Structures are given as structure tokens and as C-alpha cells.
Homo-oligomer: A and B are copies of this chain.
Amino acid sequence: MSHPNCNYRAFRDSYLFSTIYRRTEEYLAAHPGARVLNLGVGDVSLPISKTVIAALHAAVEEQADAKTFHGYLPECGLPGLRKAIAAHYGRYGVELEPEEVFISSGAIDDIADILALFDKEDTALVLEPTYPAYVETNLIAGHEIKYLESGKEDRFLPLPAPDLKADIIYLCSPGNPTGAAYDRKALKAWVDFANRIGAVILFDAAYEIFVSEPQIPHSIYEIDGAKTCAIEICSLSKTAGFTGMRLGYTIVPKTLSRDCMDFNAMWTRDRTSKTNGVSYILQKGAEAVFTEQGWEECLENINRYHANSKALMEALDEAGAWYCGGKNSPYVWVQCPEGLDSWTFFDRLLNELQIVGVPGEGFGKCGRDYIRFSSFGDPEDTKEAARRLKTVF
């Protein structure tokens, strides 16, 4: 008699985005023709850049001809792509071997899969407010989850107290949903802490390309000691507009081990058993991202999103609102005015200013007084939203 994994019982479905959608539709039904300005979107809006498109077409063409056709692929990634990503880290002063880079179908896939490396008794530490996948994947795997709350007082960048206990530590910097980013000194505190207690940090670097200030690291490996305590999970979703293309990468340093077990060897073994690699076509597209021309095109797109953040931040500054994020992130995390909770403020923004944000409560209870605005929307809509926002704080 087969028994299901009872951990699925612990779930309640998240209705965050479906509720946002429903309330917006209701507003539009009641106000036909209204122009609603969407700052809620967490998805990119600019298309794939031309260098990558050309590489994708060329790879499709290779698959059409027996002489150039590619069948089964190396499980951990095409050697050329692993090498290109290792070289990319050189931009940030980080030395990696290609064999420390693993190609994935996206950051979220590896956030889920990487838990196979850990003992079931390991506890996970999640910093709230949080990207929901850290919590959900641990619920399914049956790990005990501890929460570390953050707020205005630490600018949503909490540090480890000396008596904090955890085996697996999730850090996301620049963060989702808060946009807050650890500087070198703060990240060093986490790295030293993890090395001292033997924890492993799962560092989500999905927004690294948005980093614009020199004191903010792009990679945790810019911090001394990180290669003995951290796995970094990254993605081309935001970097290259790959949300619908699906390709990411995970760094597992050869120097990371616990109980005499080498995490790089374990992950290589895991991938070899559980996948046949990521599509040849997608990997060739990803290789093009890391060419000089490809990277320049990515940065051009990021600058367009940065311009949206800037418009929002200027308006919020003028209005005297409290916020974090924006500078090194596509997200601006804003305190609701007049002590409003996030769903009440959401309704007010929608009904009075026709602006859609994401209520902070959707990311954990310490997000209850905040709203997330995104810079992925239309530039004209964002400018108009910024203009209207000045009146509300």
C-alpha cells in the first residue's frame, strides 16, 4: 500500500496573484475603459535580444540536419556554456572552474532540487518577507523551517544573532520582494556565521544584474570564505528576459563539504542520475548571452528597467514615502501611508489612482504594512503612475 507524502497537506494555495487579478478585473468591469497602470508585474516585458535570437535560430537549424544534430547532452551542461559562465564571474573578480557551474532549467527548479543534498533533519532558515518557493519546497521535503523577520529598523536586511541556529540558510540579495541588497560587510557577517556553525547558505542571485552600487556584491563569492559555505543559484530570467525560455545556473564550489562529503561531487552525481541536461537550443541561446555583444544587449534592457525604478523612486522621495530597493533591484518596497495595511492600500491605489501593486502580506506577515512596485512595466505607464503616487503619501 503506497502512502502519499503527507507534507502536501501542510499547504494552502496562495491566492496572492489570483486575488490581485480578480480585484483588478472587477474594477475594470465597473469602470469600462479605465487605464490601469500595472506596477504589480514580476515578469519581464522586453523581448529576447537580437544576438540571442540569432543563436537560437542557428541552434534550431543544427537540429534539422543529421550532420549537425545533437542528441543526448552532458547532464551538468555544455562545456562551452559552463566555461562562459565561469568566465562571466571574472567580471566580478570571482574565480570559478567550469566544473563548479551547473546548468539548470531555471533558478526555481534548482531551489527545489538542491534540497536532495541535505539530510531530512536539517532545518531551514528563511528571512521574511520571502519569495514563497523557499518555504514551499521545504514544506514538501519535510524540513523544519525557522523564520527570521525583518523590517524598517534593519532596512529588511537582517543579520545573524550569535545564538541563531540553522543548517540551511536562504539569502536573496538583491532581494525579492524587498529589493534590499546586502553590502559586502553585511554579507561577510552571514558568511562568517555560516562557516562558524557549519551551515550552508543557499544564495539566490537571480537579480544580480540590477546591482548598480559598488559596495553591493553581485555574487556571494566576492566575499572571503563563501566558497566553503555557500551554493549560489542564479537565472537568466531577469538577466536576459528568459522567464519564458527557462535557463539558470547553480554554483557548487569544489571546496564545499560537510561530514567529509563533497557537495560538488554529490551534485554532479545527482544531476547525472536525474536529468539529461537542458535543451541544446536553450544552452546555445544562453552562450550568446555571455558574449560581449549579448551582455551589452542585456545591460541595455536592464537600463530601461532601471529608468522605471528611478521614476518611481523620485516620486516617492518627493512624497516623503519610506521605501527600500530600486537602486539595485527591479523592485521598490514601499511602506503604506497612514498605517494602512497592504490589502487596504492596494484597494485604495486601485480605486483612487488606478495603480496595481503587490500587497506585501503575500510575502509573509512582516510585509503587512508594505507594497511592492515593479520596474518591469511599460515606461509611459510607470511615469504616469509615479506622477499619481506623489499625491498619496
A11: CB under 8 A from chain B?
Answer: yes
Binds B, one of A116-124, A145-153, A213-221, A367-375: A116-124
- The contact of A2 among B53, B133, B168, B273, by CB within 8 Å, is B168
A279: CB under 8 A from chain B?
Answer: yes
CB distance from A216 to the nearest CB of B (A): 26
A92: CB under 8 A from chain B?
Answer: no
- The contact of A119 among B3, B66, B132, by CB within 8 Å, is B3
Residues of B within 8 A of A6 (CB): 119, 259, 261
**Contact code string A151-173 (vs B, CB < 8 Å = 1, else 0):** 00000000000000001100000
30 A–B contacts, CB within 8 A, in A order = A1-B198, A1-B258, A2-B167, A2-B168, A3-B259, A4-B117, A5-B119, A6-B119, A8-B117, A8-B270, A44-B71, A45-B71, A47-B64, A48-B69, A56-B60, A57-B60, A60-B60, A70-B244, A105-B278, A108-B276, A112-B275, A133-B274, A136-B273, A136-B274, A137-B273, A140-B273, A243-B276, A245-B279, A246-B279, A281-B282
- A115's closest neighbor in chain B, by CB? B5
Complex Cα distance, B1 from A258, in Å, reads 8
- The contact of A269 among B8, B105, B246, by CB within 8 Å, is B8
A280: CB under 8 A from chain B?
Answer: yes
A352: CB under 8 A from chain B?
Answer: no
Interface pair A275/B109, CB less than 8 Å apart: yes
- A168's closest neighbor in chain B, by CB? B2
A199: CB under 8 A from chain B?
Answer: yes
Residues of B within 8 A of A387 (CB): none
- A56's closest neighbor in chain B, by CB? B60
Residues of B within 8 A of A200 (CB): 2
Residues of B within 8 A of A111 (CB): 274
Complex Cα distance, B43 from A44, in Å, reads 36
A290: CB under 8 A from chain B?
Answer: no
Interface pair A198/B275, CB less than 8 Å apart: no
- A48's closest neighbor in chain B, by CB? B63
Q: Which residues does A use to contact B, with CB under 8 Å?
A: 1-6, 8-9, 11, 13, 43-48, 50, 53, 56-57, 60-61, 63-66, 69-73, 105-106, 108-109, 111-113, 116-122, 132-133, 136-137, 140-142, 167-168, 197-200, 237, 241, 243-247, 258-259, 261, 263, 266, 269-270, 273-282
Residues of B within 8 A of A108 (CB): 274-276
Complex Cα distance, B9 from A321, in Å, reads 54
- A4's closest neighbor in chain B, by CB? B261
Known: A5-B118, A244-B280. A47 touches B60 (CB 8 A): no
- The contact of A3 among B65, B109, B118, B269, by CB within 8 Å, is B118
Known: A119-B5, A263-B4. A244 touches B69 (CB 8 A): yes
Residues of B within 8 A of A119 (CB): 2-6
CB distance from A227 to the nearest CB of B (A): 15
Complex Cα distance, B277 from A373, in Å, reads 25
- A265's closest neighbor in chain B, by CB? B8
Interface pair A63/B53, CB less than 8 Å apart: yes
